[in-house]
Amino acid sequence: MTGSEEPRVVVRTGEGLCTEVSVAGHTVVADEPESLGGTDAGPSPYDYLLAALGGCTAMTLRMYADRKGWPLESVTVRLSQERIHAKDCEVCETEEGRVERIEREIELAGPLEDEQRRRLLEIADKCPVHRTLNTEVLVENILVG
């Protein structure tokens, strides 16, 4: 962090994998399943990543539909994640090793026209978290204490 920036997220762990996550005054728990050495006291870090993408997608579609005055009643986003071989991915730039594959299923409820549904599906790719995941992300480590 530079200067007087306040951290947006603070994560603390003691023994084991169960971890307290503080986000803008809210506290949640991250953990891993028992099969991976955790206590299953909360979602895994990848679960939170998918939740961030799903939440951002749903909110982005809601804001867009509301701004257009479209009859969108609700948005449901279901997500899953897996690692696949790069050679098995037809649309990936990476040709070797593995790539992360996120499947995002979007359910739009309401009397929308086909063109509105098509446009909302396009808008899903414009949510800020989706855009972040599709860019090169630089994570800088600073050791303190």
Q: How far apart are CA 82 and CA 78, in angstroms?
A: 14
The mean pLDDT of the chain is 89
Residue 125 lies in a domain: yes
Q: What is the pLDDT of residue 15?
A: 83
**Do 89 and 24 have their domain in common?**
no
Write out pLDDT tens, residues 85-130.
556 666 566 665 666 889 999 999 999 999 999 999 999 999 999 9
The residues facing 85 across adjacent strands are 98
Please count the other Cβ atoms lying within 10 Å of the Cβ belonging to residue 72.
20
Q: What is the pLDDT of residue 89?
A: 61
Q: What is the pLDDT of residue 125?
A: 97
**50: CATH:** 3.30.300.20
**Do 12 and 48 have their domain in common?**
no
Q: How far apart are CA 30 and CA 22, in angstroms?
A: 10
Q: Sign of the CA dihedral 67, 70, 76, 78?
A: negative
State if pTM tops 0.75. Answer: yes
Q: Which range has the worst mean pLDDT, 18-22, 88-92, 130-134?
A: 88-92
Total domain count, the chain? 2
